């Protein structure tokens, strides 16, 4: 008996799912609808981290082979800022032109027997759902399949829009690996995420803050034009600003327009005989390079569960949703600090010297011990720079809090008593103003308003990211001395080393002047 599947959208998620389902699901007949023509592909390249592709490669080697035969591979991330270049080795990554990947996935789907209907907007979901046993919405961020489900009953779809503006180009300049190029124009700070995707082309994504974007007049493009036309005024502005970094090469447009990244989270991914996958249900900021990977992993998981459930569609879809929601949530949580970094990079660019700025970026989600495992030279140069400036290692350097000077920068805080100690002395209670960070970034403004005008603050509560953001506001904008409290439950046993490393990272990256541990305090 045949099992008829309609897939909406021939992005990486839809194509990969259709292929594996057609190949592995007994009796499957798969029809894939794609509104674009076969040769249309928006965007330039996609990056993948070497470490994360096992699940996809096991299902089908198409991506591994594509990266090997057509992609570019590197081990180093570079930051170029203020005339200096700082590298972070040991980060194996590969990138490929999105168009090449899609072509290979299309060929693969055809070989597996998928019926590919290009130039075909999918019929209404109700119609598909009546005529097929399963409908898979792999139709990207503006998914009509998701909208259809939501119309019937809420599916808990949340969208958070970043304030930073980004635009996507290519360039014939070949970056050596993943390169972050920072420049200040008379209007404000700009940054490029550049990486090679073939022998002749690199991806060139530019970010800036909304104020800079408007001051530079980059908001003049008529966004009501249909997809296709690119913002050539912005292209000219950025070609000039980054001319020396790309050796006068041109920027290549492809539907290049400014946008604001939208992080999407969805509570319900499946209903009846309809399942959503990829960008239709979740996105994570592109700086962590996981969107395509997540869409392809969803595809593997959905196809696997269908095979495993042996005809029990409801069980297959429920398990798929359970398994993938957990995994995607982990990636989205990890993407949070990275997205936040890009929301604030202009401030870091202005306030931090080039090496500290680079380390601040590299340590968005890993501490200095883990940086040292991958790149001992980078960790040593950051520690040496501190030593040269202060004469002692970061955590052994005294800091002035109110009228007292501590013996070092790893302190302990007792939330119940409100007392702070440097291990040798109890510090007077007026040494710091104690502030609680909010749980949610949206509530930061109120916490910022409560910062004192001078002295030292101790920031506890909230979340890891909000504590850091409040501390940076205190240090970088107000010139206050700031102590961040980190979770003391993690100082037990062999986690002690991890806490020292976390504290050292916060101090070396200038996220905080000192760190305190304290049970229940963070």
Ligand X SMILES: Cc1cc2nc3c(=O)[nH]c(=O)nc-3n(C[C@H](O)[C@H](O)[C@H](O)COP(=O)(O)OP(=O)(O)OC[C@H]3O[C@@H](n4cnc5c(N)ncnc54)[C@H](O)[C@@H]3O)c2cc1C
Q: Which residues bind ligand X (CB under 6 A)?
A: 8-14, 33-36, 43, 46-47, 121-122, 138-140, 144, 166, 168, 205, 278-279, 286, 289-293, 295
Q: Within 13 Å, how many C-alpha atoms sit on residue 401's CB side? A: 32
Of the two residues 257 and 370, which places its CB atom closer to ligand X in the complex? 257
Asked if residue 91 lies in contact with residue 76, where contact means CB atoms within 8 angstroms, the answer is: yes
Of the two residues 258 and 413, which places its CB atom closer to ligand X in the complex? 258
Give the integer Cα–Cα distance in Å for 18 and 300: 10
Give the integer Cα–Cα distance in Å for 452 and 461: 18
Give the integer Cα–Cα distance in Å for 407 and 409: 7
Of the two residues 43 and 336, which places its CB atom closer to ligand X in the complex? 43
DSSP string, 215-243: HTTTT-S-TTSPTT---HHHHHHHHHHTT
Least Å distance, CB 284 to ligand X, is 8
Least Å distance, CB 367 to ligand X, is 24
Phi/psi at 24 (nearest 5 deg)?
-105, -15
In 3-state terms, what secondary structure has residue 184? strand
Of the two residues 105 and 415, which places its CB atom closer to ligand X in the complex? 105
Asked if residue 268 lies in contact with residue 125, where contact means CB atoms within 8 angstroms, the answer is: no
Of the two residues 86 and 97, which places its CB atom closer to ligand X in the complex? 97
Least Å distance, CB 68 to ligand X, is 17
Asked if residue 468 lies in contact with residue 484, where contact means CB atoms within 8 angstroms, the answer is: yes
Asked if residue 376 lies in contact with residue 481, where contact means CB atoms within 8 angstroms, the answer is: no
Least Å distance, CB 87 to ligand X, is 19
Of the two residues 273 and 406, which places its CB atom closer to ligand X in the complex? 273
Give the integer Cα–Cα distance in Å for 409 and 399: 7
Least Å distance, CB 290 to ligand X, is 5
Least Å distance, CB 123 to ligand X, is 9
3-state secondary structure 62-118: HHHHHHHHHCEEECCEEEEECCEEEEECCCCEEEEEHHHHHHHHHHHHHHCCCEEEE
Of the two residues 191 and 459, which places its CB atom closer to ligand X in the complex? 191
Of the two residues 146 and 409, which places its CB atom closer to ligand X in the complex? 146
Least Å distance, CB 263 to ligand X, is 11
Asked if residue 158 lies in contact with residue 265, where contact means CB atoms within 8 angstroms, the answer is: yes
Least Å distance, CB 279 to ligand X, is 4
Give the integer Cα–Cα distance in Å for 88 and 86: 7
């Amino acid at each position: 008996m045949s099992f008829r599947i309609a897939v909406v959208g021939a992005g990486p998620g839809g194509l990969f799912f259709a292929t594996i389902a057609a190949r592995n699901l007994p009796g499957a007949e798969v029809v894939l609808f794609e509104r674009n023509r076969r040769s249309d592909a928006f965007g330039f390249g996609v990056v993948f981290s070497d470490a994360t592709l096992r699940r996809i490669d096991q299902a089908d080697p198409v991506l591994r082979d594509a990266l090997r035969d057509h992609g570019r591979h590197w081990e180093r991330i570079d930051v170029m800022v203020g005339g200096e270049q700082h590298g972070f080795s040991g980060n194996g990554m590969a990138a490929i032109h999105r168009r090449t990947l899609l072509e290979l996935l299309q060929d693969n789907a055809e070989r597996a027997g998928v019926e590919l209907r290009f130039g075909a907007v999918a019929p209404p979901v109700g119609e598909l759902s009546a005529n097929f046993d399963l409908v898979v919405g792999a139709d990207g961020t503006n998914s009509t399949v998701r909208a259809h489900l939501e119309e019937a009953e809420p599916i808990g779809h949340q969208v958070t829009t970043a304030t930073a503006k980004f635009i996507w180009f290519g360039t014939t300049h070949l970056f050596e690996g993943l390169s972050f190029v920072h420049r200040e124009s008379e209007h404000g700070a700009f940054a490029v995420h550049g990486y090679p995707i073939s022998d002749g082309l690199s991806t060139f994504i530019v970010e800036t803050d909304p104020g800079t974007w408007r001051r530079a007049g980059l908001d003049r493009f008529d966004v009501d034009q249909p997809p296709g036309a690119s913002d050539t005024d912005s292209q000219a502005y950025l070609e000039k600003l980054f001319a020396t970094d790309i050796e006068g090469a041109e920027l290549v447009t492809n539907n290049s327009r400014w946008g604001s990244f939208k992080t999407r989270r969805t509570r319900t991914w499946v209903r009846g005989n309809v399942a959503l996958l990829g960008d239709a249900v979740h996105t994570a900021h592109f700086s962590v390079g996981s969107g395509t990977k997540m869409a392809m992993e969803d595809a593997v998981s959905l196809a696997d569960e269908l095979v495993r459930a042996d005809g029990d569609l409801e069980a297959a879809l429920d398990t798929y949703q359970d398994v993938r929601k957990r995994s995607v949530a982990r990636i989205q949580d990890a993407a949070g600090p990275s997205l936040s970094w890009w929301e604030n990079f202009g401030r870091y660019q202005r306030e931090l010297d080039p090496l500290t700025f680079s380390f601040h970026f590299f340590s968005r989600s890993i501490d200095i011990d883990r940086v040292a495992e991958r790149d001992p030279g980078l960790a040593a140069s950051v520690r040496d720079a501190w030593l040269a400036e202060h004469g002692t290692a970061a955590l052994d350097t005294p800091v002035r809090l109110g009228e007292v000077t501590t013996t070092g920068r790893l302190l302990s805080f007792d939330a119940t008593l409100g007392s702070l100690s440097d291990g040798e002395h109890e510090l007077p209670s007026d040494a710091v103003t104690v502030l609680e960070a909010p749980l949610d970034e949206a509530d930061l403004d109120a916490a910022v308003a409560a910062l004192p005008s001078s002295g030292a603050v101790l920031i506890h509560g909230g979340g890891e990211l909000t504590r850091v953001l409040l501390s940076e506001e205190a240090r970088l904008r107000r010139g206050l001395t700031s102590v961040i409290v980190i979770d003391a439950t993690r100082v037990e046993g062999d986690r002690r080393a991890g806490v020292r490393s976390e504290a050292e990272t916060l101090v070396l990256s200038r996220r905080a002047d000192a760190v305190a541990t304290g049970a229940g305090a963070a």
